Amino acid sequence: MPPANRRARRARFSVGAHIPAREFLLIALCVFAGLAIAWTAFTAGGFIRPLFLPSPLQVATRLADLASSGQLFADMAISIYRITLGFLISTVAALPIGVLIGSYRRWEAAIEPFVDFIRYMPVVAFVPLTILWAGTGDVQKLLIIFIGTFFQQVLLVMDNVKSVPRDFINLGRTLQMPEWRILQRIVLPSALPAIWDSMRISLGWAWTWLVVAELVAATSGLGYRITTAQRFFQTDLIFGYLLILGILGLASDQAMKFAGRKLFRYLDVR
């Protein structure tokens, strides 16, 4: 291999090296395509009974059936409604508290250890309690999403706020800005890109808690449909819905990433 080639190759595989966006996409797609091919080959070869692993065609057919009957979209709609509402409530509550305890030590002392304490209680263990409190309706789903997301978000936002450079705050002080103005005009905008990222990550967890809540006690939603499918050995439906969940998660994550790049364009203008 000529030296120039070798150098180019080494540059690609050095730590933190950049690659073109097209190449990134291509690699990501290849992994998905590879998995699909492996799955097809494995099931077509008859190595495994469809009860345990249905073929991609079976899964696709089942999904198409559910889509044409409207069932799929009804399930998606209710789940998306629940996660949107639950995540929003949790975020709106977590933001001010996170900013507060990230900025003031006394508030941190009052709230942070308590939040940490709750955070380590497994969310799943709250399911029976929430059913007792709120029944099996939407409120219980929102409650589970809230418990699973809110406490994590508070700590993430606190950390984001804490990493605002000390000198930014000092700048506000030298300009004799009042405390609340420093919070509003300096701390919050400075921490916002990191907070946005934290929200993106916690949205991923919220999906998990939504499905957990729907699996245990529900009469609708993607998680509920998976539970009923298990009763009727409809493995293809389980797989189909898992794929749908993966796609929804990936789409929401990419959407937030994209929005973040647009919102905080000032960070990587060059």
Partner 1 sequence: MAADKLVISGLSKTFCTDRGQTIALQGVDLAIGHNEFLALVGTSGCGKSTLLSIAAGLESHDDGKISIDGLPIEQPGLDRGVVFQNYTLLPWLSALHNVEFALRAAGKSAGEIRDIAQDHLNLVGLQGFENAFPAELSGGMKQRVAIARALSYRPSMLLMDEPFGALDALTRHHMQELLTNIWDKHRLTVLFITHDVEEAVYLSDRVAVMSNRPGRIKSIIAIDLPRPRHYDMVSTPSFQKLHRQILDEIRSESLAAAALKTALD
- The yes or no reply on residue 259 touching partner 1 (CB under 8 A) is no
Q: Determine which residue in the list 39, 42, 104, 168 makes contact with partner 1, applying CB under 8 A.
A: 168
Q: Determine which residue in the list 56, 172, 223, 240 makes contact with partner 1, applying CB under 8 A.
A: 172
- The yes or no reply on residue 187 touching partner 1 (CB under 8 A) is no
What tokens were used for 150?
Answer: 């809110």
Cα torsion 10, 11, 14, 18: sign: negative
What tokens were used for 204?
Answer: 């991923």
- Nearer residue to partner 1 within complex by CB, 142 or 157: 157
Q: Residue 191, by phi and psi: left (phi above 0), alpha (psi -120 to 50) or beta?
A: alpha
- Nearer residue to partner 1 within complex by CB, 6 or 181: 181
- The yes or no reply on residue 176 touching partner 1 (CB under 8 A) is yes
Cβ 172 to partner 1 shortest distance, Å: 7
Short-list 51, 85, 52, 71, CA closest to 213 = 85
Segment 6-65, which members bind partner 1 (CB under 8 A)? Answer: none
Q: Determine which residue in the list 83, 186, 206, 245 makes contact with partner 1, applying CB under 8 A.
A: 186
d(CA 202, CA 228): 28
* Residue whose entry in the numeric block shows the structure tokens 């706020």: 161
Segment 191-250, which members bind partner 1 (CB under 8 A)? Answer: 192
With CB under 8 A as the rule, give the number of residues binding partner 1: 23
DSSP code for 184: I
* Phi/psi at 47 (5° precision): -75, -15
Distance, CA of 258 to chain centre: 14
Q: Determine which residue in the list 58, 136, 190, 208 makes contact with partner 1, applying CB under 8 A.
A: 190
Tell me which residues touch partner 1 (CB under 8 A).
165, 167-168, 170-177, 181, 185-186, 189-190, 192, 264, 266-270
